[in-house]
Amino acid sequence: MSDAATDSTHTDSERPLCVDLDGTLLATDTMAEGFIGLLKNTPWKVPAALAALGSSRPKLKRYLAENAPVDPTTLPYRPEVLDAISEARAAGRRVLLVTASDQGTADRIAEHLGLFDEAIGSDGQNNLKAQRKADYLSGRFGAAGFQYLGDSSADLPVWKAAEEASMVCPSPSTQRAAEQLVSRATVLVPRPSKLEAALKELRPHQWAKNILLLVPLYFSHQYTDPSLVFKALMAFLSFSFCASSIYVLNDLVDLPADRQHRSKRNRPLAAGTLSIPEGVVLSVGALALAVALAAWFVRPEFVLVLFGYVALTTAYSFVLKQRMIVDVLALASLFTYRVVAGGVAVDVKLSPWLLAFSIFFFTSLAFVKRYSELIQVKGDGGQSLKGRNYVPADIPIITSAGPAAGLLAVLVFALYINSPAMMRYYSVPEALWGICLILVYWIIRIWFLAARNEMHDDPVLFAVKDKISLFAGALVIACLLAARYG
């Protein structure tokens, strides 16, 4: 970061374009990315990172750059900023990457993009940010001798020195402050709605899975009790917010892999419309709301159920999802856990028939999920799923085990129909045989659609949106009502 002679030419066509990194060129923060990577891959190094932070932020950045370097190929670059850089280069202007991130991080990203004449970052001692960055650029290019692309209030001194503010996704307060500070202020990229991004990240459409919590209340035949119905609904909301908290945590853990996925790359955390710190706050807030609902409106025991779900899903996110077959059984267990949670909420003892059916049925759906993902990489026999231990050569085994598990679930249900307990609850149990036929049809159809690559990689969400699946569900309900009241 040595100073050079001041550039006396201040025309727009010749002024160098200086581009910030975090939040500007990237829709993320490299220090936060590095810390997440450190926590996931080498958690035993976290105390050393915290010790470096206690010394200074530049030392933490240097520690993360050396021990948890970000992969430039997986970062979310803003296309509008890349276009502005290309236009500046086409006009013959010099383009510099000037960032408070560590010099090593700046060098890696600049080398990957090949668009910068120079990359300048923090040196492990001095944080190249705010007034320090403004002084550096003014000393090198002179007052108003450069154009600067930035995003945050920390860039206000730099814009003042440039006598022009070129902003990327500024907050309303930052934009107002910049417009009051300089006469020329433009917004290259508008700020996305944080509320919309937060709602999308919570994924309320996934809450359809938690309807399973209502199953024990139905099969206990106590659904005419208003107090139990209220508890079941509150349990549904509580569990849904808890699940959303885990969804956010999973996205934080899976950022690099999600950014290379055809659909997951559009999730707010992966796309950068929601920052990593905002994601952490959202996850903690959703979990706190879930616990409050459970404690106030359900049962104290249900709070323990929530923490058990957090423990299981955390184990899945960090360890189990990378283990072949174990990941599928873990997914099936998490769905079955919802049924167990519903039983705890209304204090109902679960039937072993119901638990056995749930395990086999959701094992089949978990295999469908992996199968549909493998279809996307089938052209390369040696390519594996990102973050998963499967390759296209596994497809024949999956297409054998998956449908078999689904049909075993139907067999369990058929045996349940013939059990003595049925006579106590259903006046026409023969009507339940229709459910067996519907299940066989639906399971086989799901696998046919997966083979044709016509299904979303999450079969549960697919079923919620698929008209034929919804019709099949309505027929199942009709069979249950006919068996009970026919």
Give the model's pLDDT for residue 373.
Answer: 82
Question: What token pair was written down for 216?
Answer: 């024990």
Domains held by the chain: number: 3
Mean pLDDT is lowest, of 23-32, 272-281, 392-401, 422-431, for 422-431
Quick one: pLDDT band at residue 439, thresholds 50, 70, 90? very high
The conformational region for residue 102 under phi > 0 = left, psi -120 to 50 = alpha, else beta, is beta
Residue 175 and residue 59 share a domain:
yes
SS3 115: coil
Residue 296 and residue 346 share a domain:
yes
In a domain, 210, yes or no: yes
Domain extent, residue 344, equals 194-350
Dihedral (CA of 450, 456, 462, 465) sign: negative
Question: What token pair was written down for 112?
Answer: 């990957």
In a domain, 2, yes or no: no
Give the model's pLDDT for residue 462.
Answer: 87
- CATH assignment of the domain containing 218: 1.10.357.140
Last residue of a domain, one of 290, 318, 350: 350
Last residue of a domain, one of 170, 191, 212: 191
At 341-385, the pLDDT tens digits run 999 999 988 888 889 999 999 999 999 988 988 887 665 544 555
Residue 198 and residue 185 share a domain:
no
In a domain, 292, yes or no: yes
Residue 180 and residue 39 share a domain:
yes
In a domain, 397, yes or no: yes
In a domain, 12, yes or no: no
Quick one: pLDDT band at residue 94, thresholds 50, 70, 90? very high
Residue 175 and residue 218 share a domain:
no
Last residue of a domain, one of 137, 172, 191: 191
In a domain, 91, yes or no: yes
- CATH assignment of the domain containing 63: 3.40.50.1000
Query: Cα separation of 441 and 410, whole Å?
Result: 11
Residue 254 and residue 142 share a domain:
no
Residue 259 and residue 187 share a domain:
no
Residue 385 and residue 346 share a domain:
no
Element (H, E) at 374: helix 352-375
DSSP string for 444-474:
HHHHHHHHTT-S-S-HHHHHHH-HHHHHHHH
Query: Cα separation of 112 and 404, whole Å?
Result: 47
Looking at every residue in the chain, the average pLDDT score rounds to 89
- 35 CB contacts (<8 Å, ≥6 apart)? 49, 64, 68
At 294-323, the pLDDT tens digits run 999 999 999 999 999 999 988 887 788 888
Residue 204 and residue 138 share a domain:
no
Residue 222 vs residue 295, higher pLDDT: 295
Give the model's pLDDT for residue 417.
Answer: 87
Residue (of 188, 141, 202) closest to 14 by Cα position: 141
In a domain, 301, yes or no: yes
Residue 173 and residue 49 share a domain:
yes
| Number of CB atoms found within 10 A of residue 477's CB | 11
> Burial of 257 by CB count in 10 Å (0-12 exposed, 13-18 middle, 19+ buried)?
middle
Residue 482 and residue 459 share a domain:
yes
CB 20 within 8 A of CB 53: no
In a domain, 357, yes or no: no
Residue 247 and residue 170 share a domain:
no
CB 387 within 8 A of CB 252: no
